[in-house]
Amino acid sequence: MSEHSTEASSLFPTYARFPLALVKGEGSWLWDDQGNKYLDFMCGLAVTNLGHAPEQVKQALVRQLDELWHVSNLFHIPGQEAAAKLLTEHSCADAVFFCNSGAEANEAAIKLARRYHQQVLNNGRHEIITFTQSFHGRTLATLTATGQDKVKEGFQPLPAGFKTVPMHDEAALEAAIGPQTAAIMLETIQAEGGVLPVDPAFMHRVAKLCEAHGLLLIVDEIQTGLGRTGKLFSYEHYGIEPDIFTLAKGLGSGFPVGAMLAKKPLVAAFGPGSHGSTFGGTPLAMAAVKATIETMLSEGVVDQAADAGQYLLARLREQLTDNPFVREIRGRGLIVGIECDGAVGDLVAAARERGLLVVTAGPQVIRLLPNLRVSRDEIDQAVDILVGLLAEQTVTTRGSKA
């Protein structure tokens, strides 16, 4: 336990923090201020996709630190053009807006959808349909869009203009579409909601409803983008093209940056003065983004993630199929959830004591988010720890029932 954990803090207590102070990272490994070493299967919640302190990104930031840190978006910033070109050349998008976080990216997506309908199409539409168990951020608009009541407590009144329906309920979705509906917004995998992948047939139905009713399809790729699922962007698994999609987390390898991407017809909705961000797309952030994407592309990192994800899922299913405490193992690429027959908070803490960092996705799901260059040996180490803990949990559960 960190020696600082019991000291009085000047911070708001908004996080239920683990009793660790992490001070060093390299690849798949972290060290705390007591010298203890941990295998990181959290990646800062899907942020350090290239591992900790990737050399290519570090060198790009060092070079930029010697040149220019910040100016203003009132000037042309060459790094923004270079990073945006990389993103549009490898996606269905035609334009990029850079910001600082996933919540800001989703906020920009909501604003763009409304402004496109109101200022370009002149139809006055403004409502956004989202889904239960979703998570889209913690600004007032994005927490309203989120389909989990726990994030909304104490923040009423919430902004109008959002409807939430059950995932995979086609009848409820069709009933929610009305004359004011502007867009449907969803994640391809509800990561915070329990690592719940969207069924391909339902995704295609959503896309067809958007086309039929003149709605925009917004895909939240904050946690699933940048190779996490074994594709550069997770919408590629479904054979669809969103009108708008959002990125953050893995986009800058730990440097704070977000992005909202959209197709060409929507560009007209965001003219000068319509939206902005003081720190969005700084030279430093763009150096991190460009180096991150170039590394992923040049080193085949996305394919590595797909292979590692198949191996991780196979190992878990092989070892845990007969464990009665494990209900389901699901995911895609290197975002994996182990749903259990009870709360998993104690198991996450026990894994930490054995040198493995994992996180929950709801009270009964262990979420695994290793970096995309994780080795098979590191996967084996993590699986062995989890299998041992879950075997002990089974013995404990049986004993308590006896």
Residue 312 belongs to domain with CATH number = 3.90.1150.10
- One domain, residues 105 and 210: yes
Cα dihedral sign, 311-192-95-282: negative
User: Is 319 among the domain residues?
Assistant: yes
Of the residues 252, 280, 298, the one at which a domain ends:
298
User: Is 100 among the domain residues?
Assistant: yes
Q: Rg of the Cα trace of the chain?
A: 21
What gap in Å lies between CA 36 and CA 200, rounded to an integer? Answer: 43
DSSP 3-state of 189: strand
- Mean pLDDT of successive 10-residue segments in the chain (402 residues)? 64 95 98 98 98 98 98 97 98 98 98 98 98 98 97 97 98 98 98 97 98 98 98 98 98 98 98 97 98 98 98 98 97 98 97 98 98 98 98 71 47
Cα dihedral sign, 151-155-161-165: positive
- One domain, residues 262 and 365: no
Residue 96: what are its φ and ψ, rounded to 5°? -130, 140
- One domain, residues 109 and 197: yes
- One domain, residues 322 and 380: yes
- One domain, residues 351 and 236: no
- One domain, residues 121 and 182: yes
The pLDDT value recorded for residue 394 is: 80
- One domain, residues 49 and 189: no
The pLDDT value recorded for residue 1 is: 42
CB atoms within 10 A of CB 389: 21
- One domain, residues 271 and 328: no
Please, is 212 exposed, middle or buried when counting C-beta atoms within 10 Å of its C-beta (0-12, 13-18, 19+)? exposed
User: Is 331 among the domain residues?
Assistant: yes
User: Is 15 among the domain residues?
Assistant: no
User: Is 17 among the domain residues?
Assistant: no
Which residue, 57, 29, 35, is CA-closest to 377? 29
- One domain, residues 62 and 29: no
Q: How many domains does the chain have?
A: 2
Q: Quick one: angle between helices 78-89 and 283-298, nearest 10?
A: 30
What gap in Å lies between CA 54 and CA 317, rounded to an integer? Answer: 31
| Domain coverage including residue 325 | 22-53+300-401
User: Is 149 among the domain residues?
Assistant: yes
Of the residues 298, 320, 354, the one at which a domain ends:
298
CATH of the domain at 217: 3.40.640.10
pTM assigned to the model: 0.96
Kindly provide the residue ranges of all beta strands, DSSP E only, lying in 171-248, ordered along the sequence.
Answer: 181-186, 189-190, 196-197, 216-220, 244-247
Q: 250 with 292: CB under 8 angstroms? A: yes
Residue with tokens 């060198």: 59
- One domain, residues 340 and 286: no
The pLDDT value recorded for residue 103 is: 98
User: Is 12 among the domain residues?
Assistant: no
- One domain, residues 59 and 175: yes
The pLDDT value recorded for residue 402 is: 42
What gap in Å lies between CA 231 and CA 225, rounded to an integer? Answer: 8
Of the residues 237, 263, 298, the one at which a domain ends:
298
Task: In the chain, count H helices and then E strands.
Answer: 11, 17
User: Is 329 among the domain residues?
Assistant: yes
- One domain, residues 83 and 154: yes
